[in-house]
Structure 1
Amino acid sequence: MTSPTIKPQWQPGQFILAPYEGKHPPTEQWVQDALDDNPVRTSFEIDGLSIELLIWGDEGKPGLLFLHGAGAQADWWNVIAPAFAKEYRVAAISWSGMGRSDWRPRYTIDNWGKEALKAIEVAGLDKAGKPMVIAHSLGGSPLFYLSANHSEQVHAGILVDSFIPKFKAGGSPPKREKLQRYATVEAALARYRFMPEQGTDYPEIVDYIARQSLRWVEEDGEDPAGWTWRFDPSMFASLDVSGVADLVPEAKIPLALIAGEQSGLVRNTNLASIRETLPNCPVAVAIPQARHHIMIDQPLALIAALRVTLQTLSASS
């Protein structure tokens, strides 16, 4: 750990970690403390696949499950989740096709929802009653699935800058090129970026996430050996989310919304209209100066907003 120093100012079009040339950015003490609170790293089996599972806190406490967005993994929550481990049994998973989880030949929101339910069971998040679920970005789609079809197993949910996706298989999904391979970790880190693009005052969090997102692959006849990213580039070619919008009005549990005020996906000006689409939305707030990836942009503000929202949802029936 090093003391905070002046960090390079990010500009659109730049790669956040490039100025550090593979070295760790200066790390604030509270960030280091959170990262030092290591989770239990394990996995579970579903549909013949291994799904990555991270766990913090003691079994028997109220359960809290964190769900990440597209192209991410469970480690995206490793600065946020420890803040709740004293009061909750906390878990995070990597969806199939991402992180250290196995890949599927085809991806569905239903399958991801079933992975979340299995995580609740395996992590023991339901020992003190029905758990609550926190979902970022595309992770909100499986939360909509749970809210409509499995309200008997989930108490409430929080959508973190989430949205109703519009693309479907065979339509115009976001393009994912073949994953680039890098000769060194340093070269890979220098090219790490977010979609949508944004900067942060916490490059140390980006550095941690980026390092956890890398895996080594051997030469396969077409490409040389090297470092690449831990997600299936063909995922969006088969993922059909066309039915997610139909799940929203069927939600049978409270769904709160925390948005980034400067998010390119969920803008503060749309909060009221988004809230109106949810049958039961007791909380809808925007975090000032936060963009889409709030956990790396305004992590302390996100923790504070989650605490207040969880208290409100805990009191709801």
Structure 2
Amino acid sequence: MASEPIPAPLAAFAGAKPPAPAWFDKALAVEPERFTHQGAGVTIETLAWGQRGKPGLLLLHGGSAHADWWSHLAPFFAETHRVVAPSWSGMGGTDWRPAYTMDDLMGEMLATIAATGLDEGPVKPVVVSHSFGSFPAMAFAATHGARIGGLMTIDSPFLSKEMRAKRDFGRPPSREPRDTIVYDTFEQALARFRLMPAQPADNLYVVDAIARRSLREVKKADGTSGWTWRFDPFMWSRMTRRDPAEDLAAATCRLAITWGSDSVLFPEEVKAYVRRQAPAGSLFIEIPEAQHHVLIDQPLALVTAMRAVLSAWEAEDKAR
């Protein structure tokens, strides 16, 4: 029997904000610097917290997402780090491309590091990436690993070719009907927001904050205003990928591989393969009570895990 579809999580609120705990409101009150810079042939939307000259922390979001997926987490590191979250090309407020490659996305990482001063600190910057964002990040670790102090990935399955051929983890088709619909009102569009891959979510205040930054106002054919999503609906069909498992094995910087304990992307087979494929000395961390969208499911546990990894690597740097 087919499972019931997961309803749109914000539909019941009719545009109203779900109640949020004090820590969340306090974090969002720490507004980032919002700006754009040029790099790899596009204009890149970028958010930054903290002072230049502090250790760099580059936060990379997942597919069809945007930099504000990190806005409730980045402030936890802003006093000790220069924290930067860009939007990938084709997503958020960054330019779309006629075609997308991992080389393009790695170029965006290099440009962002240079433009935001992430490499001006006393140690090499650390990269933290979620979901799809870990594929260009791991390609970077294999190609430019000497430029960074380490890479922490969050629920990103690095599969063999055989495993990729067998599995469908819910990657959206090249064009879904909801991608091209222009909604009459912001509230109507917000009520249609869904996570990919689909999952229930308890912390709807996080979902709501992310969803509100996922929309853009556009002109409809009749000249009136409407709302649609801030990502390129053709991005997936126009993207050339690398082999992520080969990049994992070839990484030349420190790695910390994390996943949600209840993630559909990390069955035991995937966990075992990733452990075998990763270079010696890599760290492996499971976040309890989390599905794929760890940033939503267990944000404070993720902050703790990130702090632990950063502290461990900083201690290693000091001991050298």
Normalised by the length of structure 2, the TM-score is: 0.89
Residue aligning to 1:188: 189
Residue aligning to 1:84: 77
Distance 1:73 1:127 in 2: 25
**Unaligned ranges ≥5, structure 1:** 1-10
Distance 1:224 1:173 in 2: 32
Residue aligning to 2:208: 207
Q: How do 1:67-106 residues align onto structure 2 when only pairs under 5 Å count?
A: 67-106=60-99
1:245 and 1:220, CA in 2 relative to 1: closer, same or farther beyond 3 A?
farther
**Once the two structures are superposed, what CA deviation does each residue of 1:69-120 show, in whole Å capped at 9, x if it has no partner?**
1000000001111111111100000000000001000001111111011111
1:173 and 1:285, CA in 2 relative to 1: closer, same or farther beyond 3 A?
closer
For the residue of structure 2 that corresponds to 1:70, the secondary structure is coil
Higher alpha-carbon deviation: 62-71 or 273-282: 273-282
Alpha-carbon offset, residue 224 of structure 1: 7.3
For the residue of structure 2 that corresponds to 1:92, the secondary structure is strand
Higher alpha-carbon deviation: 109-118 or 91-100: 109-118
Alpha-carbon offset, residue 271 of structure 1: 2.7
Q: How do 1:210-229 residues align onto structure 2 when only pairs under 5 Å count?
A: 210-220=211-221, 225-229=225-229
1:132 and 1:43, CA in 2 relative to 1: closer, same or farther beyond 3 A?
same
Alpha-carbon offset, residue 242 of structure 1: 3.8
Alpha-carbon offset, residue 180 of structure 1: 1.8
Residue aligning to 2:284: 284
1:13 and 1:124, CA in 2 relative to 1: closer, same or farther beyond 3 A?
same
Are the aligned partners of 1:259 and 1:268 in contact in 2 as well (CA < 8 Å)?
no
Alpha-carbon offset, residue 41 of structure 1: 0.3
Count the aligned residue pairs. 303
Asked whether 1:54 is paired with 2:55, we answer no
Q: How do 1:1-317 residues align onto structure 2 when only pairs under 5 Å count?
A: 13-128=6-121, 129-164=123-158, 174-175=172-173, 176-177=175-176, 178-220=179-221, 225-267=225-267, 270-316=270-316
Distance 1:24 1:310 in 2: 33
Distance 1:44 1:220 in 2: 31
Normalised by the length of structure 1, the TM-score is: 0.90
Alpha-carbon offset, residue 272 of structure 1: 3.8
**Unaligned ranges ≥5, structure 2:** none
**Once the two structures are superposed, what CA deviation does each residue of 1:236-275 show, in whole Å capped at 9, x if it has no partner?**
0111214333322211011101110000112366434312
1:173 and 1:25, CA in 2 relative to 1: closer, same or farther beyond 3 A?
closer
Structure showing the higher helix proportion among its residues: 2
The percentage of counterpart residues that share the same residue type is 42
1:292 and 1:173, CA in 2 relative to 1: closer, same or farther beyond 3 A?
closer
For the residue of structure 1 that corresponds to 2:312, the secondary structure is helix
RMSD: 2.1
Are the aligned partners of 2:158 and 2:274 in contact in 1 as well (CA < 8 Å)?
no
Alpha-carbon offset, residue 311 of structure 1: 1.4
**Once the two structures are superposed, what CA deviation does each residue of 1:16-71 show, in whole Å capped at 9, x if it has no partner?**
11111110111111000011111000111124421011000011110000001100
Higher alpha-carbon deviation: 65-74 or 155-164: 155-164
For the residue of structure 1 that corresponds to 2:302, the secondary structure is helix
Are the aligned partners of 2:113 and 2:119 in contact in 1 as well (CA < 8 Å)?
yes
Are the aligned partners of 2:185 and 2:227 in contact in 1 as well (CA < 8 Å)?
yes
Distance 1:261 1:180 in 2: 35
